[in-house]
A and B are shown apart, each in its own frame.
Chain A
Amino acid sequence: MESSAPAWAAEQRQEAFRELVERHSRMVFRMAYRMTGNEQDAEDVVQETFLKAYRGMDRFDSRASFSTWVFRIASNCAIDLLRKRKRRPEAPAFADGPDGPGASSADPSPQDAAQGSEIGRRVNGALAALTPQERTAFVLRHFEGQPIEEIARLLGVRANAAKQTVFRAVRKLRLELAPLREESR
């Protein structure tokens, strides 16, 4: 179990840390990419996260889970980056669109492709329309499954404010997707 490993003895510090980095890097990258919407920014967050984790290892409570701890550091790094950047994050590509990195290998019909592309455009545009705070709250709640209490802690606000931020984000996203709803009727 990761939390019980005698990882924090000085002579084994780096070897233990290597294992943790190798195990958790992809998770940190995924979360950072969804938060920042930008590959390069996500890589920055990954590096900064593990540097901070290494330097703060003495403060790590070995009874806790390393993944939870590193997730918190990564969230804070991403939030800091969004705040410093002062521009809205980019939207990631849409998996089902014909141009998305996760595009299906089966050839879609022209109609499906056009529809997929339109949905992708709307969904990307909806995410890009959120403020950094709203995007953070939505990503943490929707993709990362974080409870409102934890989102509040990470954003440095009260639970009720975090809840309202999630509501606002969902409302904005649905508003952006409203034309799709109309078209499907």
Chain B
Amino acid sequence: MNHLTEEDLVLYHYGETPEPAVVEDHLARCERCRAERDGLAKELGLFDRLAVPERDETYGGQVWRRLRPLLSEPEAARRPFFAAFQPWLLATSLAALLFAAFLAGRFWPRAGGAALGPAARERILLVAVGDHLDRSQMILLEFVNADPSGFPGGDARERQAAEELVGANRLYRQTATHAGDSAMASALDDLERVLLEIAHSPSPEARQALRRRIESEGTIFKVRVITSRVREREKAPARAAARS
């Protein structure tokens, strides 16, 4: 008697057997194959117990709020973001980061306005990233200093503010990664993890633990250091111009 193979049983388990009646007929007569089938089903059933982090019914709205600023921009101006992922553009980190700034909806060039030069574009970019870091720092400070017994609704506002910053941060991080600016990408990656945790830590215990971790890891200090570096780079051209 030819027994069923593991492949036969996998296909049967997933309902992909071409001739299920043949398999069922064999299973009805063969104890060994029935035991194999049951063992397979039991082991695969263990994977159904793997947890997925909870996203409640407000999640769709949060995703929409992150997406909304990116969708409102003109079609022609949105295309360069994907173009920035082409290899020939990767070297131009400045341009790629600038697209991310534009995508964040903060520095949209006025129609008919004069084209920006490289120095002006760099400055706009640095201002955008600097502002983002300032806002992130503010949220982190508010979060760390929040009174757990404070007025109701404060947590929800912090979570929403963090959620909104995550979207912009993701764009800056992804573009910095693709542009090869690993130091900036790594710093933004760390920041994004913390912002995500603030946005998705509904229980007071989880929030308290996160506060302690932010303090012990010096997260706010790190964000301050990056911000000051960005601000320094922002001022550098003006200083150079003054010297000349």
Main SS class of interface, B: helix
CA distance A180 to B47 in the complex (A): 14
**Taking the complex as formed, is B61 at the interface, i.e. its CB lies under 8 A from any CB of chain A?**
yes
Q: Does A14 belong to the interface (CB within 8 Å)?
A: yes
Q: Which among A47, A148, A163, A181 is the interface contact of B167 at CB below 8 angstroms?
A: A47
Minimal Cβ-Cβ distance residue in A for B82: A55
- Can you list, as one digit per residue, whether each of A116-130 has a CB less than 8 Å from chain B (1) or not (0)? 000100011001000
Main secondary structure of the interface of A (DSSP, over half): helix
Q: B6 contacts A167, CB within 8 Å? A: yes
Q: Which of A18, A29, A141 contacts B64 (CB 8 A)?
A: A18
Total contacting residues, chain B, CB less than 8 A: 39
Q: Contacts of A174 on B, CB cut-off 8 Å?
A: 6, 40, 43
| CB atoms of B49 and A43 under 8 A apart | no
Q: A13: nearest residue on chain B (CB-CB)?
A: B71
Contacts of B78 in A (CB 8 A): 55
User: Which among B43, B53, B174 is the interface contact of A101 at CB below 8 angstroms?
Assistant: B53
A107 at the interface (CB under 8 A from B): no
Q: Are B71 and A14 in contact (CB under 8 A)?
A: yes
Give the interface size class of chain A: 35 or more
Task: Check: A26 CB closer than 8 A to any chain B CB.
Answer: yes
Q: How far is the CA of A6 from the CA of B90 in the complex (A)?
A: 39
A40 vs B170: C-alpha distance when bound (angstroms): 10
A182 sits at the interface (CB 8 A)? no
Whether a CB of chain A sits under 8 angstroms from the CB of B63 is: yes
Nearest-CB distance from B63 to chain A (Å)?
Answer: 4
Q: How far is the CB of B180 from chain A (nearest CB, A)?
A: 14
